[in-house]
């Protein structure tokens, strides 16, 4: 009886950091959304085969990105050491690193190895000159167009506007659809227009420059698109509403993420075989830029076995791991080499064009207070789109709010 009681007490104490520490060193856990497609299960199975006695657990969380961020944050704040690995959105990196929740990976992931990955994904993994994340899944904004309607896709904002006016016939067919609702997707869409006008949110010294003339011109173009080349309802669109407008033949151009291409090619799609992709347009003399999305692995500061965690990261983010997740879950790989891989290109013939757009991807402002920065942009850009504020008013107010949050002056 005493032995049974002792064993029961030990089992209850495992999570509290006493009994069972040695066994816990051979368990790796990370939080991710449901494994639709089974790619993660296959990666874990192969890793465990090569590492007898090791167990990797994918803790399936909610589909909403911010909900999973909150779960990670709660775990780290409580010190419960639930997660050894951190599978994170690119915008979490500065916040998690600033809080001390991540191990720096500079010694394990030197610059020469980073060259194997897309440059934007690496840039988004760095905070204050240290790297905290190995990219796994890439993502970036694209401009989709109806290749059966548009012969030569636009490169500049004027060319995009002109093509829309030439071919559209509203309200049945509009020129341009994008994500205009007040949420993070609007920030991503606006940043591409902002960068294409030569503007930015913060300069290299962290000074807020969102109210610059370049930024005002960018918002003036985007707000001016609503009701002229974009449907008035675009101010309520998220990713799927804008995709439906494009895929159902109600828009000629679409700003969205790469997943749209596969959806557009599905059996029964009205635009199957009629879709092209290019980087977002820009002003003459400026460069096109895509807002970086994507996910990657970090190691939690409280990880019991960092060496084992790193071995899993190396396997999962290697060529074979990324090919598994691409084949089974449709994940877009973050390694350069896979965009010329014959097996992948055979299944995804648009990947060479996608690669060119991904090379132009830029991270959103890398700052621990990014959530507050994003909130200010969302509120005031949305207000400009529906005419409650002029572009000048919107960006003046957004810039002042961001300065207040960051504690900086004009």
User: Do the beta carbons of residue 106 and residue 131 sit within 8 Å?
Assistant: yes
Q: Is 386 helix (H, G, I), strand (E, B) or coil?
A: coil
CA separation for the pair 120, 124 (Å, rounded): 6
For 392, the enclosing helix (H) or strand (E) is helix 391-406
Q: Average pLDDT, stretch 325-331?
A: 95
- What does the DSSP 8-state code read for residue 279? P
- For the residues of 313-329, what is the DSSP string, one character each? HHHHTSHHHHHHHHHHH
CA separation for the pair 255, 190 (Å, rounded): 10
Q: Indicate whether this model's pTM tops 0.85.
A: yes
pLDDT at 212 over 70: yes
Which residue is it, tokens 């639709």? 36
Cα 76 to chain centroid distance, Å, stands at 22
Characterise 279 by phi-psi region: left (phi > 0), alpha (psi -120 to 50), beta (else): beta
CA separation for the pair 216, 102 (Å, rounded): 37
Q: How far lies 198's CA from each of 4, 55, 201, in Å?
A: 70, 49, 11
CA separation for the pair 67, 77 (Å, rounded): 15
Q: Average pLDDT, stretch 209-238?
A: 98
User: Do the beta carbons of residue 254 and residue 245 sit within 8 Å?
Assistant: yes
CA separation for the pair 329, 62 (Å, rounded): 17
State percent of the chain over pLDDT 70: 94
Task: Tell me which of 64 and 312 has the higher pLDDT.
Answer: 312
User: Do the beta carbons of residue 288 and residue 281 sit within 8 Å?
Assistant: yes
Pairing of strands 251-256, 126-127: unpaired
Q: What is the pLDDT of residues 46-56, one digit of tens each?
A: 999 999 999 99
- What pLDDT does 24 receive? 73
Strands (E), 14-84: 27-33, 55-61
Q: How far lies 211's CA from each of 13, 200, 367, 394, in Å?
A: 55, 9, 18, 9
- What pLDDT does 81 receive? 87
CA separation for the pair 240, 250 (Å, rounded): 13
**Bridge partners, 399 (sequence order):** none
Q: Is 268 helix (H, G, I), strand (E, B) or coil?
A: coil
Q: Which two three-digit tokens encode residue 32?
A: 């991710």
pLDDT band at 25 (very low <50, low <70, confident <90, very high): confident
Query: 385, exposed or middle or buried, with CB in 10 Å at 0-12, 13-18, 19+?
Result: buried
Cα 308 to chain centroid distance, Å, stands at 27
Task: Tell me which of 338 and 15 has the higher pLDDT.
Answer: 338
- What pLDDT does 139 receive? 95
Q: CA dihedral in degrees (391, 397, 401, 407; nearest 10)?
A: 100
CA separation for the pair 369, 402 (Å, rounded): 9
State percent of the chain over pLDDT 90: 91
Backbone angles phi, psi at 12, to 5 degrees: -70, -25
pLDDT at 328 over 70: yes
**Bridge partners, 27 (sequence order):** 55
Cβ within 8 Å of residue 110, ≥6 positions away:
none
Q: What is the pLDDT of residues 87-130, one digit of tens each?
A: 999 999 999 999 999 999 999 999 999 999 999 999 999 999 99
Q: Which of 171, 174, 195 is nearest to 163 (CA)?
A: 174
Cβ within 8 Å of residue 262, ≥6 positions away:
330, 348
Angle at 102 between CA 323 and CA 87, to 5 degrees: 30
pLDDT at 20 over 90: no
- What pLDDT does 23 receive? 53
Q: Which of 266, 91, 118, 283 is nearest to 192 (CA)?
A: 283
pLDDT at 402 over 90: yes
Q: Which two three-digit tokens encode residue 368?
A: 């621990």
pLDDT at 271 over 70: yes
Q: What is the pLDDT of residues 338-388, one digit of tens each?
A: 999 999 999 999 999 999 989 999 999 999 999 999 999 999 999 999 999
């Amino acid at each position: 009886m005493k032995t049974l009681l002792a064993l029961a007490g030990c089992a209850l104490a495992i999570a509290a950091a006493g009994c069972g520490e040695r066994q816990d060193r051979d368990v790796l856990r990370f939080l991710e959304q449901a494994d639709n497609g089974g790619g993660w299960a296959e990666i874990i199975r192969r890793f465990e085969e090569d590492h007898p006695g090791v167990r990797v657990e994918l803790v399936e969380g909610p589909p909403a990105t911010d909900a999973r961020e909150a779960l990670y944050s709660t775990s780290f704040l409580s010190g419960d050491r639930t997660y050894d690995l951190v599978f994170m959105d690119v915008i979490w990196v500065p916040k998690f690193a600033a809080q001390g929740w991540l191990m720096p990976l500079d010694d394990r992931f030197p610059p020469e190895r980073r060259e194997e990955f897309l440059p934007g994904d690496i840039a988004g993994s760095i905070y204050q000159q240290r790297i905290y994340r190995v990219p796994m899944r890439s993502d970036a904004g694209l401009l989709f167009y109806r290749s059966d309607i548009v012969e030569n896709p636009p490169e500049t904002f004027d060319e995009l506007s002109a093509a829309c006016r030439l071919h559209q016939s509203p309200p049945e067919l509009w020129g341009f659809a994008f994500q205009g609702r007040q949420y993070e997707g609007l920030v991503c869409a606006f940043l591409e227009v902002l960068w294409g006008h030569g503007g930015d949110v913060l300069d290299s010294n962290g000074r807020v420059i969102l109210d610059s003339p370049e930024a005002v011109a960018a918002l003036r173009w985007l707000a001016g698109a609503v009701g002229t080349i974009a449907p008035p309802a675009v101010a309520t669109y998220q990713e799927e509403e804008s995709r439906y407008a494009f895929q159902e033949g109600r828009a000629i151009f679409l700003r969205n993420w790469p997943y749209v291409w596969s959806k557009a090619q599905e059996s029964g799609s009205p635009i199957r075989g009629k879709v092209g992709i290019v980087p977002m347009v820009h002003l003459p003399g400026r460069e096109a830029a895509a807002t970086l999305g994507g996910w990657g692995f970090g190691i939690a500061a409280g990880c019991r076995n960092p060496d084992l965690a790193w071995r899993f990261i190396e396997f999962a983010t290697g060529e074979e791991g990324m090919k598994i997740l691409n084949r089974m879950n449709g994940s877009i790989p973050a390694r350069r080499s896979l965009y010329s891989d014959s097996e992948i290109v055979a299944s995804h013939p648009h990947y060479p064009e996608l690669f060119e757009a991904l090379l132009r991807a830029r991270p959103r402002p890398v700052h621990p207070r990014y959530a507050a920065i994003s909130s200010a942009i969302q509120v005031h850009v949305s207000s400009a789109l529906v005419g409650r504020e002029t572009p000048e008013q919107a960006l003046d107010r957004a810039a002042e709010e961001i300065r207040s949050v960051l504690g900086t002056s004009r």
